[in-house]
Structure 1
């Protein structure tokens, strides 16, 4: 009696490769940081000619890989990049390549560079507007070819982070991702917040000499806020409400929840309360991320406004 030879079939898991590119100033660094937080291996400004070596079969990696390239990258020729990726896709069935292109209106890019006082990589010795136009023309082949294009013109950094999570968090843990934000109403509402709490009912440290220049991260400001009789019962109700709602959001299949605390300028009351809720969530076994949108904004009476006197 002869037996049939036993053969095992192995399903090869394709490695996800994401090329992250786009206009300088549109948010590539932020996108790569978020992808890294989601479990991707992130590499920025990797030489295109070394791409085949990076994706060598001998590496046997299944961790998703995000590769940032732009006009600063050595040997960066967009048409050649597209061609190299097409060749890899034809030759390899163990990789899955996609391209993310981050775009932004030229006027907004110029504003961002003027605000940070950084030099645009293609504006050497010429006006920044010309550099932006030259880069846009250079990158056009990649933009037309990219599977995903995100326009960040009207995005805050938080908006872009949320957008990246929504698109590329498929392999991230399914536990609810919680972000706790602080912001100033005088500088606009956060567009993507799920729960917003207005902390302007508390006494405002901005109007206390010695506290104005400090923030909600400083112990003296925290002590002042804690002394307000309205704080303890108000915060307890907010904390209990959030903890009660979290399982219900999870039951509905939500992957992300953003909780925002606002005050007038976004530097004192909202910051302190956001930090305090973050600690309460950590004590409850959660792992929230805390972001302070206006923490570094300059404290001014004009920003606080006369309405804050009643807060």
Structure 2
């Protein structure tokens, strides 16, 4: 369920031999582009921030000196001479180059969360000038909408922590194409929305809910007592066996197809008990099968 209009598995496909990996990072102001660029730098990309659009073709010209591994370039509304239509034309031209493996990463975020981020940091939105920050956000959303639609990967950071965003970047854009499949197993609350980055989503709201047991309500799915309550549900054993079997069957198939990153999400009402328990349990099952697994709890903070 990746929000990626240009294809379901572009980042996960095998890179063409002999090509230079190029990530164009763009998106809404305040949506996490700085964090994304830092994550790409940590992966080994040479990073260039706020490049004027006119310099893009020259930087990537066939005769130019290129980094040995890959380059990540941030081009957005702040960049001198930025124009959405011109950006799309240049991207189309670069995608046609046989020596480049180019992908566009668009960072998106809900308007209310963006406004809150600007209020908390007291920064001025680049499109707001003397107007309210919400006016600047709305204008930028309109100007960037065509670029969002054309992007290879769209990451909505509305509900992501900085560490979760870094994990997603690491899985989507690995420079080591032999690193294999990286699996993230996530818990979430349906009340806070589906995780857009999820490839597979399981609704576990049918399982016995510890929330209605006063002694268990303050706990989480990591607690033994909470787990025991969930496992006591008469349907749990069969569900657990079927899901575990299906995923241990599917994950190697995704890896065989060259996918580098897979997100499996378990959702319940509050994102605290049943989804956390299942994410931890399935994460353990997949680790025992030899897979690289990270477990993320999107909507629960642990003491």
TM-score normalised by the shorter chain: which range applies? 0.5 to 0.7
In the TM superposition, residue 230 of structure 1 has moved relative to its aligned partner by: 5.1
The count of residues paired between Structure 1 and Structure 2 equals 268
Whether the aligned pair in 2 keeps the contact of 1:45 and 1:70 (CA below 8 Å) is: no
1:84-99 equivalences in 2 (<5 Å)? 96=100
- Cα deviation, 1:200-223, whole Å, max 9, x if unaligned, reads 343212122253344324455345
Question: Does 2:102 match 1:102?
Answer: no
Q: Specify which of 99, 121, 128 is matched with residue 125 of structure 2.
A: 121
In the TM superposition, residue 98 of structure 1 has moved relative to its aligned partner by: 5.3
**Partner residue in 2 for 1:63:** 69
Whether the aligned pair in 1 keeps the contact of 2:24 and 2:73 (CA below 8 Å) is: yes
**Partner residue in 2 for 1:7:** none
Whether the aligned pair in 1 keeps the contact of 2:51 and 2:73 (CA below 8 Å) is: no
Identify which range, 18-27 or 275-284, moves more after superposition. Answer: 18-27
In the TM superposition, residue 271 of structure 1 has moved relative to its aligned partner by: 0.9
CA change 1:66–1:283 in 2 (3 A) is same
Structure 2 unpaired stretches of 5+: 1-17
Question: Does 2:113 match 1:112?
Answer: yes
**Structure of higher RCO (CA pairs closer than 8 Å, 6+ residues apart):** 2
In the TM superposition, residue 79 of structure 1 has moved relative to its aligned partner by: 5.0
Whether the aligned pair in 1 keeps the contact of 2:159 and 2:298 (CA below 8 Å) is: no
Structure 1 CA distance, aligned partners of 2:105 and 2:195? 24
**Partner residue in 2 for 1:78:** 81
In the TM superposition, residue 111 of structure 1 has moved relative to its aligned partner by: 1.9
CA change 1:264–1:46 in 2 (3 A) is same
CA change 1:109–1:211 in 2 (3 A) is same
**1:288 is paired with a residue of what secondary structure?**
strand
CA change 1:120–1:152 in 2 (3 A) is farther
Whether the aligned pair in 2 keeps the contact of 1:183 and 1:266 (CA below 8 Å) is: yes
Structure 2 CA distance, aligned partners of 1:150 and 1:192? 10
Whether the aligned pair in 1 keeps the contact of 2:23 and 2:71 (CA below 8 Å) is: yes
CA change 1:18–1:156 in 2 (3 A) is same
CA change 1:217–1:65 in 2 (3 A) is farther
In the TM superposition, residue 281 of structure 1 has moved relative to its aligned partner by: 1.3
In the TM superposition, residue 231 of structure 1 has moved relative to its aligned partner by: 4.2
Q: Specify which of 165, 184, 187 is matched with residue 182 of structure 1.
A: 187
**1:126 is paired with a residue of what secondary structure?**
coil
1:139-288 equivalences in 2 (<5 Å)? 148=151, 172-173=177-178, 175-190=180-195, 193-218=198-223, 220-226=225-231, 228=233, 231=236, 234-251=239-256, 253=257, 255=259, 256-288=261-293
Structure 1 CA distance, aligned partners of 2:270 and 2:124? 31
- Cα deviation, 1:175-201, whole Å, max 9, x if unaligned, reads 334232223344555566554434334
Whether the aligned pair in 1 keeps the contact of 2:70 and 2:175 (CA below 8 Å) is: no
TM-score normalised by the chain length of structure 1 = 0.58
In the TM superposition, residue 113 of structure 1 has moved relative to its aligned partner by: 1.8
In the TM superposition, residue 268 of structure 1 has moved relative to its aligned partner by: 0.9
Structure 2 CA distance, aligned partners of 1:244 and 1:134? 46
CA change 1:184–1:61 in 2 (3 A) is same
Measured on the aligned residues, the alpha-carbon RMSD in Å equals 5.4
Structure 1 CA distance, aligned partners of 2:156 and 2:288? 38
